[in-house]
Structure formats: structure tokens, C-alpha cells
Structure 1
Amino acid sequence: MNPSTALARVLVDELARCGLTEAVIAPGSRSTPLALALVAHPDIRAHVRIDERSASFLALGLARTSRRAVALVCTSGTAAANFHPAVLEADQSGVPLLVLTADRPPELRGTGANQTVDQIELYGSAVRLFTEVGVPEPVTGMVSYWRSLACRAWAAAGPDRPGPVHLNLALREPLVPDPGDSGAWCEPVDGRPGGRPWIDRPARPAEPAPLELPPVERGVIVCGDGDYDAVPYLALSAATGWPLLAEPTSNARRADAVSSYRQLLAAPGFAAGHAPDLVVSVGRPGLSRQMSAYLRRAARHIVVGDHRAFADPVRTATDVVPAVAPPPGADPDTAWARSWRDAEAAARGALDALLDGEEALSEPRLARDLAAHLPLGSLLFAGSSMPIRDLDAAMSARCGARIIGNRGVSGIDGTVSTAVGAALAHQRDGGGGGYALIGDLALLHDQNGLVIGPGEPRPDLAIVVVNNDGGGIFSGLEQAGHPDFERLFGTPHGVTVERVAAMADLPYTRLEWATDLPKTLLGEGVRLIEVCTDRAASAVLRRRVQEAVTAAVDG
């Protein structure tokens, strides 16, 4: 067995012992030993993508949904650089990734050798661990080094503080197994008996003692984006009567959560009369300017999270604690609680009445109705820019569906690929149908995510694309009045989703009427559904929704 093959086989075997079950491979020559070892392992499902950026976001979606580290493999050179956006997202959103980049050996670096760049610490501070693995040599001690390194990398990727890990593997030729390879090496390559990992990890420490919250009436619970258990915060709201303001990707918008908080906090009269004495926040809040402004008004802001890395986007945190508990003897039926319930009912009524006034699908109504029609056990991937914001503004509280999105860096990079990966992991773990709500620019930005080779695993995924011929989010911002707005921000492209579907040989449907949404969502495999809207009209409708809610709650 040649050294490159030995390293790859031992490393992959040890990662599988640690728990690796998914790997994404971008084709290349230098990474051949890793690719061959991954596809040969019986406990690992391999996915191949021709585009490194698409591959990396596919791995991100798999890892985000399964909550398990996924291996991501590429050859040397710009291939590794194309992983960078996904690595940044994994870092900011706490997604475990094992990035395995093949590299030229040291004697070829800095010489002008083909496809050679400096890959040392390529991703900077975005990774939890970087290791230059070193050129494999046929000497005693290599197997224990490789196996212990695999365990260390697996542990560094999570679960204590999940995130990406980068191993840079310098591989010399030959890169394929020797003819008649017997598997012999200069020392035994076997791992621990019984399939155990080389290094056993101790059990996670017991849950920390929660902070008992002060007995205030005017409390508010804010659930931002993140992968955490929402039940304690729903229970806290039920015990205290404090309103729960939940972003869609918190998966806490259930039961009596306030679904119209975005409009309520933008209603001048309501906002003026509802300054909080205490805010308890968890996850990453920051989807709306209204929420950011509201956090600044809190007399005390308790953040629940890891003291080493917690979200405090407007610098208002006064305490950081690992867990919270309701104050003893809390009364859930106070004047404060009743005022929020009454406002939610009035706002919800005004919002729904306005959206239901037209049978043609608007962007906010599409978001509201799609979230409402998701079957139990479904997964919805929400694209950045307007799709996630329309969900935040229009979605009613509901249970039984999981909503995720790339909210770490909030880019539109790799949107399609992340959704495909998320659906694959969701369905491998026994979940139901996969759905995505994205914009036209996000689709065009990641058309390669639709290119899935024959024989590759494919999910059931309905991708609903809002096509407003450009960047809809800018129509509601200050840039909208600039004379060069259309060219610089609107960026019309004139591409229909039907043409994109034809490129990828996928089923396509154009959806116009709200009553047709449930039957249009039916189907199998990856499919594209296009909803054509007008950017300017959508911006006007969102303003009308806010005016209607303001009138309903401020009188």
C-alpha cells in the first residue's frame, strides 16, 4: 500500500468510527486517495458535485440538518478557495464541517508548479482547528498519528462549539492504489477493537444550573435564528405571560408566539407603550430593524448562550447565562400579557384580511400560505433577502415543520445546494418532504446546485422561486430612489425559471393563484415552481400591510 493510499484509508476509517456518515466530493486528481477511500467505505454515503462551491454548500445543508459533521473533499488550488463562503457560513452559524483539502507536497510549493497555492490556514479564523497533516511516510507511528488526528478533528467540529475544521493533506504520487494492492503497510493499520474510535470522548457535562429570572411584569422573550431547543422558551412564555417574539428559523414560532411582532414594533403607538423592563434572548436575533431597535430599549437584556460566543448584535447585553428559569409564582395573566395578546389578534386580522384581498399570489401571501400548507414532518429552507423576511412578516404560528436558512452570514451563495443537502439529510433521518422558498437571484447564483449526476442521491424537494426579475430587497431600502437604482441594485436579468429548469432537465410549474398552491406542491424529486411578481408592487403591498396593522393597533 503506497503512503497516500494508506493515509486516506486510515483517516476515513477513523472518521467513520467517530460517526461520519456523509461525505461530499468535488472531483480532482490530487484528492484521488481520499475520494476512493470515502466511496469504498460501507458506512459513508458519498455525494459528488462538479462545482466546489456547490459541493461545499451541499455539505453545509447536510450537516446543518443532521447536526453531524460532514466531510468535504477537494483537490488543490482554487478548488479549496471555492469552499471559503460555505466555511464562513458554517463558522457563523455553528455547523460542523470537516474540510479535507488535498495539496501538493512541500517540494512543489513556491516553485510555480501547476495548480499550487498557499493553502496553509487558508480559511483563517473561521475554523475551529487547522492542521497541516504532513506528507505520509512509511514509518512506524503514522497510523496512531492519523487516527488520533481524526478523533481530534471530529471533536473540534462539535458538539461543544460546532463549526468547521480544516485538514490540509499533502499527498505525493502515486495517488491510486498500487497494482495488486494487498493492504500491507509497515505497521498494522487496524483501529481499536470493536469498531471503537482511537480516542473515546467523555460524556457531555450535566446541564448547567439556570438563572432564576427576576419577577418583572414587562418581560419579553426573543428567539433568534439557531439550532436549539425552543421548548424551554415556550414554557417560559406560558409561565410568565411574557410575549415570545420568534424568528422563523428559531423554530419557536409555535403555540401563542407573537407572529406579527415585526409590524407591531413598527407601529409608533404600540412601540411607545411597550418598552420592556427585561428581554431574554436566545439564538441570533437580527432579521429586522424593528427588533434591533426594540432591543436597545430594554432596561436589562439577558442573553442565553455560550459565554465564549454569544449573539449581541446591538451591544445591549447586560448578562450572559447558560440557561434561565421562570421566577417563582409568576402570573401569566397580567395587563402586559393581555395587551400583547390583543394586539396580536388585531394585527393578525388586519394582515390576513389584506393579503386575502387578492387571489393572485403576492410575495407575502406566498410566504404565509406556503408555511401554513407544509405537511407535518416537513423541512422548509428559507432563502436570504426577502423570502426569510416575508416569512418573518407573514407566517402564522404553527407546529410540525422545521424551518432553516443560511443566517450565519446571510448570503445568497449556495442557496440551492444547501437546500438540496438539507432535504437529503432530513429524509435520510426519516423526515418528510423538503421545500425551499428562494428568490430568482439566489437561484441564478447557484444554478449548479441543480446539476446532480446520474446515480447520485436525490431528495424530494420542491423549490419555490419568487421571480421579480432582480433584487427585490433593495426596493424597500433607501437606495430605491436613486437614478441608477435599476442598474446597480434592481439588476434585472430577464431569465425565466422555466429556462433554468430546462437546463437541469427538471420538472417545472408556473404558479399564479393562491388556491393552486397545495396541489402545485405535490410531486417527487427535485422540481421548480415559479411565482412571478413585481418588485415595486410588492414593496407597496408591504407598506400597506404595515399601515393596516398600525391602524388596527394604534387606532
Structure 2
Amino acid sequence: MGHQEVMTTYLANFIQQLVHGGIKHVVISPGSRSTPIAMLMVEHPELNVYIDIDERSAAFFALGMAKETREPVVLLCTSGTAAANYYPAVVEANISRVPLIVLTADRPHELRDVGAPQAINQIHLYGEHVKWFMEMPLPEDEEEVLNFVRQCGARAVATSAQVPAGPVHLNFPLREPLVPLLEPSPFEGLEDQHLFIDVIRGKLNISDSQVEQVVTQVEQKEKGLIICGPIDYPELNQHIVALSEKTGYPIIADPLSQLRSCGIFNPSIIDNYDSILKDQSFNQYFVPEVIIRFGAMPVSKPLTLLLKNAKNIIHYIIDGENGWRDPIKKGTTMVHSDEIAFCQKMDNQLKDRRQTKWTTMWQQLNEQTRSIVVNAMEMENALDEGKVVTELVKFLPEHSTIFVGNSMPIRDVDTFFHVNGRNIRILANRGANGIDGVVSSAIGASVNAENVYLLIGDLSFFHDFNGLLAAKMYQLNIRVILINNNGGGIFSFLPQAKEAKNFELLFGTPTNLSFEHGIAMYDGHYTKVHNWEQFRQAIADSTSSQGIQVIEVPTNRQKNVESHRKMWKKVSQEMNEYFRGEK
């Protein structure tokens, strides 16, 4: 066989194995060296192919799609710096456990390190940020090689999806000519399922005797907390609530735990802990004796400080993905078990505990704090960033998805997004916590999810502005709530805000951008609101509209800080009254 026929057979076998393994979506960044892989992927009848010109945007677009579907998505690019531009999303996928399969085309070995164009060292390009790397052999049609390439395809899908999920990288050196043979169909004759490899993945489990050790400790301690950080297993929610009812422990529910809007109303789901713990002078009342934690560390810094400063706490970290999530180094027992299985076995062995004074305290303060927060926002007439969250939730259709930007938006969601029955899913890129790629990730999520709303600040929006191209090209529906405080709002809450000299230059970083014309470039609809009535109407209009809908909410950074601190002061006063009455 000639070179093109050999190359076609080789790559068709690889692609067919990906499909056999369950791959449905491919995101391609255009380029020359990746030509044969791209052309064959487009020809495959079972693959949904998306083209995204900017590699950084493409990678985050794929990441958002994988995050929403909880399934691996394939990325493909040409050689050189194109592959380097995937790096930020690969890092995010690794830390946040999102399955990605990164395919990079490469120069053949004779064109490496000799000054050839678009040739960089792509071997282990992503270092330890991928779960597995393979330098693929040059195309051959020997059965041994075809067996190997199918094996690599199966292993790539399985490894990316196997817990903990994450990215894998396969590097394909390819020689010219790069155009494959498309007639007859390169996938004819590959229908024989016996050619391809199946992978059966199991879950980590824990024995009854191991659970008994945890039960013994829990039953001896009344002051306990179940802490749920970012975790996205919808079926887990009811088991967490059942565990709370059995132990009598309140649930500290991070907004990314999916517990705040899962259709379960339970007074033990604590959603105002961040405001409660802001004033650290009361922390002595909130220190638990035992913690059972699920998911990554919560967003809340006050909660982190409480746990970090507490001593002699029994701290179980439950991780069904065999990880080590303990940035504050306070875990006393790592439990590598499927979370649902752990909850069920705990429930089978635990005795019912009557509600304790500890649980009552958390529930009462949570209700009182929620009332203060809600009333403070209702009384706020100016455009306020916290009130954006409370007003947005009122008008979202059920089963919507909010993709939240980092820095201030995710923290405002933590403070102002309360338990509700709307079944709203909250997503964010909280692995590396960067502001890059947020627009692209949200648009990636919108490929399969209906009613996706992106809540984002002006700097993050600008940073990934060209991510809007994918929404334009594929007529995707994305509603963007753009909070524009003309700079980095989060820094106004940090210690450096007290250093007035050069604060705006280094941290405030005002850009004075007008977004309207840029949004028009992507055929988007732009609305700038000036009051709450306009905001409510804009949200309602966007819900019934198609395409890119951007609602800009101009806010004032300094006034936003004052509004938040005034509210937190009222919470502190309420707690002071509460604990004075307890004495």
C-alpha cells in the first residue's frame, strides 16, 4: 500500500476505537499537520465536530463540554505553539478532574530539532498535568501496529474517564502528503466489533468493618459537620442529606456541591456559613469535633480559616476518585471509597441521633443570617453585585445552568445563592481558579445544556472575549450577565486595598472598555441596564431569545465593598445577640 492508504488505515482504526469507546464530541483547531486526522474525524458519521480557531478558546470550549456531559471530549490541533495554547485548559482539566483527550499532530522525527517551521518539542509537553502520554508511532499498516493504535485509543478514553478523571495526551508524528483517502469510506470494514477493545471501569469501595471504625467515632461526637465542596454527582445529594439526618450533623453546602438547588429542602443544609464565619471573634462557637468532607475544598475563605486554625479535630475526607484533596493539611483519615456507597453503609450502621443544641444553633443562625442577607438585598436600590445573584435566581427557568466566573462572581454566588427548589446546576472552573477561558467553557457547556447563564466580571469577559466565536458559528444559546465594575473587584476586599499608592495601577486595573460593538461583531444582542427593573426585563427577554445575549450591569467597586461589609456587620450584631442570649 502507498503512504496515503497506510496513513488512512492507521488513523481510521484509531478514530473508530475512540467512537467504540463512547466518544461523541471533537473540537478541532485548524492546522496543516493535523489534516489527515481532522478530515477523517469529519467523515465519521457518529462524531460531532466543532471547529474553534483559537486553540486556547478551543481547549476551554472542550473542557466546558466535558464538564457538562461528564464524558471525555477530544481536542485536536496541529504542531508547534498551537499545542502550547492548550496548556491552560489542560491544567484546569487535570486539577478539576475533567476528562479530555488531547491529540497533537507533530513533525516526523527527521524534521525535529533541525530548524523546521512549526516544530517544537512536544514530547511530554504538558508534563505532570496529564494522566498519560503516548508518542504514537509513524503510520504503518502492519496488524501489530494497528492493534497497538486501537489499544492506545481504548486506553486514552478509559484513562481520561477513570477516576480521578483528567486529560491524556497523544502526540502523532505525520509525514507528507497529509491528505487521506476518503473514497471508499475509510471506516468501511471497521464495523467488526471484535477488532476493538472494551473497558469496564469499577468504583472504589469500602468494607463494612472499615465503615464501622468511622461510625464508632461519629457516634461519640455530637459536634460534627458534613462539608460538601465542589462535587457534581447529582445522585449523591439525597444520600448526603440522609447521612445528615442520621448523624445530626449540619451540611455546609458549597454552591458547587449542587445541594443548594437540588429540590431537597432540609433545614440542615447550611447556605450562609460564609457570612456567619466572616467575624472570626465568634469562631469558638463553631469549631466541630468531627468533620466528614466530600468534594474539593469549598470556596469560602472564612470556612477554610476556621478549619485551618482548629485543633484536634477528627477529619474524614471522602474521595471516590482516589485523590488527596487536603490543601490545609488537616485531614486525619483519607477514605478512598465511592461517596454513595460510603453514605449508604454509614446509614445502615448508624443509630438515629436526636437533634442536638449544636445542630439547632447552626440552623437558627443560618435562618437569621439568610433573613439579613435577603433583606439587605431587597433594600438595595443601586446596582449591586450581590443583588445580581438574588435577582437572577428569581427569573431563571427550572433546570437552568449557571456557569460562574472566578474572583468575585463565585464568592457572591456563595453568599447570595440560597437553597431553592429550581434545580439549578452551578458550574465553574475551580481547579486552577483562573479567569482565562471562562467564556469558552460556558459556551462549551451550552452545547448540550439548555438555558445556560454565564455570570462573569468584566476582566474575565475581556480575557476570553473571542470565546464568543463558537457560539456564533454553531448558533449556541448563551446568556451572559456581565458585571462591569471596571476592574478587578476581588482585590478591593483583600489587604492590598489598604495600600492606596499604585492600587489601581497594579490591582484595580480599570480598562474603560465599551463592550457593545465587540458583541455586535459576534452577532450578539447587547443590553446595558441602569436599574433593577431593566435588569429583570432583560433577563426575561434573554430567556426567550436565541443566540448570544449579553446583559451588562455597571457597578461601583467601592460601593460594592461598602454594601457587603454593611451586611456582614449586621450578621455580626445578630450573632452577638444570639450568643449573649445563650449565656
TM-score by length of 1: 0.94
Which whole-Å CA distance do the structure 1 matches of 2:515 and 2:245 have between them?
44
- Structure 1 residue 206: Cα displacement: 7.4
Q: Which deviations, in whole Å up to 9, do the C-alpha atoms of 1:250-297 show, x marking residues without a partner?
A: 112252311110011123454221210011111111412211112232
After TM superposition, the structure 1 = structure 2 runs for residues 206-225 of structure 1, keeping only pairs within 5 Å, are 207-209=205-207, 211=211, 212-213=214-215, 214-215=218-219, 216-225=221-230
User: 2-side partners of 1:155 and 1:377: how far apart?
Assistant: 30
Aligned length: 544
In structure 2, relative to structure 1, the CA distance for the partners of 1:453 and 1:276 (3 Å cut) is closer
Identify the residue that residue 468 of structure 2 maps to in structure 1: 450
Contact 2:471 2:477 in 1 (8 A): no
* Alignment counterpart, residue 531 of structure 2, candidates 505, 508, 513: 513
1:183/1:274 CA distance change after superposition, 3 Å: closer
- Tell me what 1:488 maps to: 506
- What is the 5 A alignment of 1:373-384? 373-384=395-406
Point out where structure 1 has 5 or more consecutive residues left out of the alignment.
427-431
Give the counterpart letter for 1:466 in structure 2: I
Matched, 1:389 2:411: yes
Separation in 1, partners of 2:175, 2:414: 51
Counterpart position of 1:244: 251
Distance in 1 between residues matched to 2:369 and 2:106, nearest whole Å: 57
For residue 99 of structure 2, what is the aligned residue in structure 1?
96
- 8 Å Cα contact 1:25-1:74 kept in structure 2: yes
Counterpart in 2 of 1:15? Answer: 18
- Alignment RMSD (CA, Å): 2.0
The verdict on how the C-alpha distance between 1:19 and 1:237 changes in structure 2, with shifts beyond 3 A counting, is same
Report the alpha carbon displacement of residue 510 of structure 1 after superposing the two structures with TM. Answer: 1.4
Counterpart in the other structure of 1:479: 496
1:16-75 CA-to-partner distances (Å, cap 9, x unmatched) read 111000000000000111111111111111110110000000000000110110000000
Change in 2 beyond 3 A, CA 1:52/1:366: same
DSSP-derived class of the 1:495 partner: coil
Could you say if the C-alpha distance between residues 274 and 444 of structure 1 is closer, same or farther in structure 2, counting changes exceeding 3 Å? same
Deviation at 1:319, TM superposition (A): 0.6
The code of the aligned residue for 1:302 comes to: Y
Residues 414-433 of structure 1: pairs in structure 2 closer than 5 A: 414-426=437-449, 432-433=450-451
Deviation at 1:86, TM superposition (A): 0.2
- Give the 3 Å change call, closer, same or farther, for CA 209–517 of structure 1 in structure 2: farther
**Matches of 2:138 and 2:201, distance apart in 1:** 34
- Identical-pair percentage: 36
162-171 vs 341-350, which moves further: 341-350
Q: How does 1:313-328 map to 2 (within 5 A)?
A: 313-321=327-335, 322=337, 323-324=342-343, 325-326=346-347, 328=350
Aligned to 1:227: 232
Could you tell me whether the CA contact under 8 Å between 1:372 and 1:396 is conserved in 2?
A: no
- Aligned residue for 2:573, secondary structure, equals helix
Partner in structure 1 of residue 553 of structure 2: 531
Distance in structure 1 (CA, Å) of the matches to 2:459 and 2:292: 36
| Aligned-pair CA distance for 1:181 | 4.3
The CA distance in 2 between the partners of 1:453 and 1:461, in whole Å, is 7
User: 1 CA distance for matches of 2:49 and 2:354?
Assistant: 51
How far 1:192 sits from its partner (Å)? 6.3
Are residues 1:276 and 2:288 paired?
A: yes
Corresponding letter in the other structure for 1:439 = G
Deviation of 1:183 after TM superposition, in Å, equals 6.1
CA deviation after TM superposition for structure 1 residue 191, in Å: 4.0
Q: Equivalent residue of 2:431, what SS?
A: coil
Q: State which of 4, 28, 34 in structure 1 corresponds to 2:7.
A: 4
- Structure 2 equivalent of residue 118 of structure 1: 121
What's the offset of the Cα at 1:477? 0.4
Output the CA distance in 1 between the equivalents of 2:327 and 2:393: 27
Select the residue among 257, 277, 300 that pairs with 1:265. Answer: 277
Instruction: Tell me the amino acid that sits aligned with residue 307 of structure 2.
Output: L
CA distance in 1, matches of 2:452, 2:195: 34
The alignment partner of 1:425 has SS state of coil
State the partner residue of 2:297.
Answer: 285
CA contact (8 A) 1:128 1:157 kept: yes
Change (3 A) 1:346 1:269: farther
The equivalent of 1:137 in structure 2 is 140
Conserved 8 A contact 1:382-1:436: yes
AA matched with 1:106: H
- Matched residues in 1 for 2:360 and 2:405: separation? 34
Gaps of 5+ in 2: 578-583
User: Per-residue CA shift, 1:131-167, capped at 9, x if unaligned?
Assistant: 0002112434222121111001111101332100000
